[in-house]
């Protein structure tokens, strides 16, 4: 199979697998992360095949929905990649990246590092900011029946991911708790540049939001 075939087979597999996925991590999220990955790869040197396959497979199975089984995603990805004949070294690399992009990894227990991980992690984080990031935040907030904004509830900084998931803070708070912090978490120079623009989009959105909230034009 050519590299293009491998990527197309993987895209088809993921699209089918995520047919009934929740909206925050559906096929369209995967497609955007894949596109972000390709955009970053235009100016970063890395194993593009590993990056693209990982972008496609990174949310294939969320441990949140599998009794906290952290290995389910990497396992399903690995079994699939073996079936389509990807070499063993690359399969292990894809699995390592997926494991280390997971919830546990975000708590700082990361023991693996590569340029390819940096790129896919950036691509995933880019999908949480900018215009798409704004849309995803309000969709999440709507799903959780949150207020869009409440001037009496200030942002709660420095809560754990789990803790703030369980708060009933309005969606605007999420910008201060997470979205506006992501620009400075980008790994690659390319993603830092893309993030800078998307960050400005969120800042101008917030400025306009408060103007309108306060009855200004
Ligand atoms: P991931 O772990 O893939 O980054 P999450 O499951 O934390 O994603 O979030 C999925 C989407 O929902 C992201 O765009 C994120 O910003 C948004 N989101 C998560 N928590 C909140 C929240 N408390 N309020 C608003 N949006 C949220
Ligand atoms: Ni993702």
Per the listing, tokens 């997971």 go with 102
Q: Give the range of the structural domain holding residue 76, as residue numbers without chain letter.
A: 1-109
Q: What pLDDT was estimated at residue 69?
A: 78
- Identify the band that residue 6 occupies on the pLDDT scale cut at 50, 70 and 90: very high
Q: What pLDDT was estimated at residue 149?
A: 97
| Predicted structure pTM score | 0.92
The mean pLDDT value for 179-204 works out to 98
- Identify the band that residue 194 occupies on the pLDDT scale cut at 50, 70 and 90: very high
Q: What pLDDT was estimated at residue 106?
A: 61
- Residue 2, in any domain of the structure: yes
Residue owning the nearest CA to atom 10 of ligand 1: 24
Same domain, 74 and 133: no
169-200 burial, b at 16+ Cβ within 10 Å, e below that, comes to bbbbbbbebbbbebbeebbbebbeebbeebbe
CATH code of residue 167: 1.20.58.1910
Distance, CA 25 to ligand 2 centroid (Å)? 6
Q: What pLDDT was estimated at residue 62?
A: 74
- Residue 123, in any domain of the structure: no
- Say what the ipTM of the complex is: 0.96
In angstroms, rounded to a whole number, what is the distance separating the alpha carbons of residues 86 and 84?
6
pLDDT by residue (tens digit) across 29-83? 999 999 999 999 999 999 999 999 999 999 998 766 777 777 899 999 999 999 9
The mean-pLDDT minimum among 5-14, 151-160, 164-173 falls in 151-160
CATH code of residue 73: 1.10.472.50
Q: What pLDDT was estimated at residue 110?
A: 66
- Residue 122, in any domain of the structure: no
pLDDT by residue (tens digit) across 127-165? 999 999 999 999 999 999 999 999 998 887 656 667 666
Q: Looking at the 3D structure of the chain, how many domains does it have? A: 2
CB proximity list for 130: less than 8 A, separation 6 or greater: 197, 198, 199, 201, 202
For the chain, what is the mean pLDDT? Answer: 92
Q: Which ligand is nearest to the CA of 60?
A: 2
Distance, CA 40 to ligand 1 centroid (Å)? 22
Q: Which residues line ligand 1 (CB under 6 A)?
A: 24, 128, 133, 136-137, 140-141, 164-165, 171, 174, 179
Q: What pLDDT was estimated at residue 101?
A: 87
The mean pLDDT value for 79-99 works out to 97
Same domain, 132 and 86: no
Distance, CA 33 to ligand 2 centroid (Å)? 7
Same domain, 23 and 97: yes
Q: What pLDDT was estimated at residue 108?
A: 63
pLDDT by residue (tens digit) across 101-112? 865 566 666 689
Atom of ligand 1 nearest to the CA of 165: 23
Percent of residues, the chain, with pLDDT higher than 90: 79
In angstroms, rounded to a whole number, what is the distance separating the alpha carbons of residues 67 and 25?
18
Q: What pLDDT was estimated at residue 22?
A: 85
């Amino acid at each position: 199979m050519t590299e293009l075939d491998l990527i197309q087979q993987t895209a088809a597999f993921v699209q089918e697998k995520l047919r009934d996925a929740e909206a925050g991590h559906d096929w369209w999220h995967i497609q955007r992360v894949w596109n972000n990955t390709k955009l970053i790869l235009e100016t970063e040197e890395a194993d593009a095949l590993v990056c693209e396959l990982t972008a496609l497979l990174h949310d294939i199975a969320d441990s949140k929905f599998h009794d906290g089984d952290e290995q389910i995603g990497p396992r399903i990805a690995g079994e699939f990649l073996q079936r389509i004949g990807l070499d063993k070294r690359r399969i292990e690399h894809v699995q390592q990246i997926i494991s280390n992009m997971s919830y546990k990894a975000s708590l700082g227990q990361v023991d693996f590092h590569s340029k390819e991980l940096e790129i896919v992690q950036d691509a995933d984080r880019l999908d949480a900011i900018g215009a798409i990031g704004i849309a995803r935040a309000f969709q999440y907030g709507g799903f959780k029946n949150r207020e869009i904004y409440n001037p009496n509830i200030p942002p709660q900084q420095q809560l754990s991911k789990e803790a703030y998931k369980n708060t009933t803070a309005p969606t605007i708070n999420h910008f201060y708790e997470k979205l506006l912090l992501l620009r400075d978490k980008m790994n690659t120079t390319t993603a830092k540049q893309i993030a800078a623009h998307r960050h400005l989009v969120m800042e101008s959105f917030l400025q306009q939001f408060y103007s309108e909230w306060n009855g200004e034009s």
